[in-house]
């Protein structure tokens, strides 16, 4: 340890708010360089390399081939695929000295597609699965939680190429099983959930989530876990949906004086109604793929929120965001009192499914301090039912989409994501092959990612206590720390002989620093070595060596001749404690 780079801290860093960030800094795994940028120190690097090796073994086991591609990518590839603008401001764009546009790759669909396109010409060469473990960049608007959401990160990204959907599904399922094995081997309990494909495109998508209170993702699960989905992906089911044709209300639309009732909560309180009895009229700006902007109006029940991911997908948009005050006034509306009637400007109106749960509604009158009652979308659009869309955010208590019970919320950290991309990239990048009948076809693709740094931090989130990290033995920076408590050179020589016996047999670090025993013990618990061997007074007086197991908080004492066999047994027991998964 004297020759190793270990610098621990007793105090939490001021900008750290989650356990993994605090402990990684304090245990000397990482050191902050700038916003969302971290130096990985030797202890942390050993953990990273162990995670990478587990990933590599499972990827290779299902026939994936490892590559390494440049981080710096010509922008023309991204322009070809159509993602140059779709990715938005999160993508690092830069120019070289020749004024060429370049990208610091946040993901490598385009690069791998272009590479494989240059070599693969026939159906006989498919299926093919390629991958790399490499640095990625994302210009996060708000980097936080240490390496859980950083600007530079290490990712395993894999891509598969297929002749047809059946072949893709076989690889997708093999990858799914490999992911379950990977996360179990690194000591993580994961929940696979249905997910939104976002800017990646494609059809089926699944995230591997680790339950955590600090998770930025909200998962929706039913009671028996037969339905598991990311909140952004979950459809909303309305038991009170009116299926039959709705006629225009017989009652005349009339204005209601609602002073200062700008929000649904204020309006419901003023009218002594429930939010679900009111119809919100929202205004959104949508940035389309040609970078033009479109103003849209959404009618949605008062107790529901807009799911911006669904809205973005509906318009195949680059970005969506709430409109500004001036946009309301421009179309003849008023913020807080917006409605769909008597607008000065024609505008696209979306009808959320929830607008079909009542025959009359109260909504905004486009007049300050006034709302209208006896309104229904059929009044302004006879074809409104054919334009119903689900753009609402599902929530706890909603019926499960699979018909089994209701949904409950749980937070999670995403550590892996798999997609069925289809021919989105092969088509846009003009990658064709000859099929069995000598016809040119576009191969079908899949995409599969694992965040390596994020996995390391998430392991700590699931495995720590008030003393520090409790590493699963498979990814600990060292499996064993040997702590010596010696008084003279003669005792030091005896410890060194034991160290030499163990050195070739185990993943071992000897704490031979000239420090007080308490400091050594505190560092061992903070860093989280799974097994601690202590050679001190008991050994020099009674020939007994202390073995402490961090996970179980148990100590045992053994004679020197039983040390190796005992450690081997403890290691085996700790490996057996890793999560077991049925794949």
Instruction: Return the H-helix or E-strand segment holding 86.
Output: helix 83-86
pLDDT value of residue 238: 96
For range 50-65, the mean pLDDT: 98
> Are 493 and 187 in contact, with CB atoms under 8 Å apart?
no
Tens-place pLDDT, residues 357-369: 999 999 999 999 9
Tens-place pLDDT, residues 82-120: 888 777 788 999 999 999 999 999 999 999 999 999 999
CATH number for the domain whose boundaries are 480-576: 3.40.50.800
> Are 336 and 263 in contact, with CB atoms under 8 Å apart?
yes
For range 249-268, the mean pLDDT: 93
For range 184-212, the mean pLDDT: 78
Query: pLDDT confidence of 583, banded at 50, 70, 90?
Result: low
Is CATH 3.30.70.1230 what the domain over 254-389 is classified as, yes or no? Answer: no
> Are 210 and 190 in contact, with CB atoms under 8 Å apart?
yes
pLDDT value of residue 581: 74
Q: For residue 314, give every residue at least 6 positions away whose Cβ sits within 8 Å of its Cβ, in sequence order, or none.
A: 350, 389, 391
> Are 287 and 318 in contact, with CB atoms under 8 Å apart?
yes
> Hunting for tokens 């970078």 — which residue is that?
291
Residue 199, pLDDT above cutoff 60:
no
pLDDT value of residue 84: 87
Measuring CA to CA, which residue among 351, 337, 349 is closest to residue 246?
351
Q: What percent of the chain has pLDDT over 90?
A: 83
DSSP annotation of 35 reads T
Instruction: Return the H-helix or E-strand segment holding 43.
Output: helix 42-61
Tens-place pLDDT, residues 3-24: 999 999 999 998 898 999 999 9
pLDDT value of residue 200: 45
According to DSSP, the β-strands at 348-352 and 388-389 are parallel
Residue 251, pLDDT above cutoff 80:
yes
What architecture does CATH give domain 19-235+407-462? 2-Layer Sandwich (3.30)
> Hunting for tokens 């995230």 — which residue is that?
207
Query: pLDDT confidence of 371, banded at 50, 70, 90?
Result: very high
Residue ranges of the domains in the chain? Answer: 19-235+407-462, 254-389, 480-576
Instruction: Return the H-helix or E-strand segment holding 336.
Output: none
Residue by residue, DSSP assigns 207-256 as EEEEE-TT-SEEEEEETTSS-EEETTTPPP--TT---SPPPPPSSPPEEE
pTM over 0.75: yes
Q: Map residue 133 onto helix, strand or coil.
A: strand
Tens-place pLDDT, residues 483-513: 999 999 999 999 999 999 999 899 999 999 9
Could you give the CA distance from residue 409 to residue 397 in angstroms, rounded to a whole number? 9
């Amino acid at each position: 340890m004297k020759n190793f780079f270990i610098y621990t801290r007793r105090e939490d860093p001021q900008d750290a708010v989650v356990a993994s960030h605090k402990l990684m800094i304090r245990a000397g795994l990482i050191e902050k360089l700038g916003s969302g940028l971290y130096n990985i120190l030797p202890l942390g690097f050993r953990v990273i390399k162990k995670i990478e090796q587990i990933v590599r073994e499972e990827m290779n086991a299902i026939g994936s081939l490892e590559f390494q591609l440049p981080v710096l990518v010509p922008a023309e590839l991204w322009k070809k695929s159509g993602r140059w603008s779709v990715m938005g401001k999160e993508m690092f764009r830069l120019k070289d000295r020749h004024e060429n546009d370049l990208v610091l790759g946040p993901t490598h669909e385009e690069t791998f597609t272009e590479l494989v396109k240059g070599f693969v010409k026939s159906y006989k060469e498919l299926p093919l699965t390629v991958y790399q473990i490499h640095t990625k960049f994302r210009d996060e608007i708000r980097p936080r939680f240490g390496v859980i959401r950083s600007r530079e990160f290490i990712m395993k990204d894999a891509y598969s190429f297929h002749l047809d959907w059946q072949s893709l599904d076989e690889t997708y399922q093999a990858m799914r099983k490999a992911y379950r094995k990977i996360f179990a081997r690194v000591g993580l309990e994961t929940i696979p959930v249905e997910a939104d494909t976002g800017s990646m495109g494609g059809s089926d998508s699944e995230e591997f989530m680790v339950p955590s209170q600090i998770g930025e993702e909200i998962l929706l699960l039913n009671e028996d876990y037969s339905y598991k989905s990311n909140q952004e992906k979950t459809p909303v089911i309305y038991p009170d949906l009116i299926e039959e044709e709705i006629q225009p209300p017989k009652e005349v639309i009339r204005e209601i004086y609602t002073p200062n009732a700008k929000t649904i909560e204020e309006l419901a309180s003023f009218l002594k109604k429930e939010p679900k009895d009111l119809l919100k009229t929202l205004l959104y700006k949508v940035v389309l793929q040609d970078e033009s902007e479109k103003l849209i109006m959404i009618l949605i029940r008062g107790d529901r929120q807009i799911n911006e991911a669904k809205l973005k997908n509906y318009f195949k948009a680059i970005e969506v965001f709430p409109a500004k005050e001036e946009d309301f006034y421009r179309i003849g509306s008023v913020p807080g009192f917006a409605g769909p009637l008597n607008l000065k400007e024609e505008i696209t109106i979306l009808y959320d499914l929830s607008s079909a749960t009542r025959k009359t509604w109260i909504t905004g009158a486009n007049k300050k301090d006034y709302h209208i009652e006896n309104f229904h979308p059929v009044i302004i659009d006879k074809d409104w039912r054919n334009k119903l869309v689900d753009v609402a955010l599902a929530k706890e208590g909603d019926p499960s989409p699979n018909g089994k019970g209701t949904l409950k919320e749980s937070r999670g950290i995403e550590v892996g994501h798999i997609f069925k991309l289809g021919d989105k990239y092969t088509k846009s990048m003009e990658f064709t092959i000859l099929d069995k009948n000598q016809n040119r076809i576009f191969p079908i693709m899949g995409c599969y990612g694992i965040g390596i740094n994020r996995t390391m931090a998430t392991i700590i989130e699931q495995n720590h206590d008030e003393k520090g990290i409790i590493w699963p033995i498979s990814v600990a920076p060292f499996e064993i720390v040997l702590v010596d408590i010696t008084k003279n050179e003669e005792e030091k020589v005896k410890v060194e002989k034991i160290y030499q016996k163990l050195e070739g047999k185990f993943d071992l670090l000897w704490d031979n620093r000239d420090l007080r025993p308490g400091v050594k013990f505190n560092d061992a618990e903070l860093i989280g070595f799974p097994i601690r061997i202590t050679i001190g007074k008991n050994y020099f007086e009674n020939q007994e060596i202390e073995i402490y197991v961090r996970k179980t908080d148990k100590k045992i004492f053994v004679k020197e001749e039983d040390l190796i066999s005992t450690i081997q047994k403890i290691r085996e027991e700790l490996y057996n404690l890793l999560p077991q998964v049925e794949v």
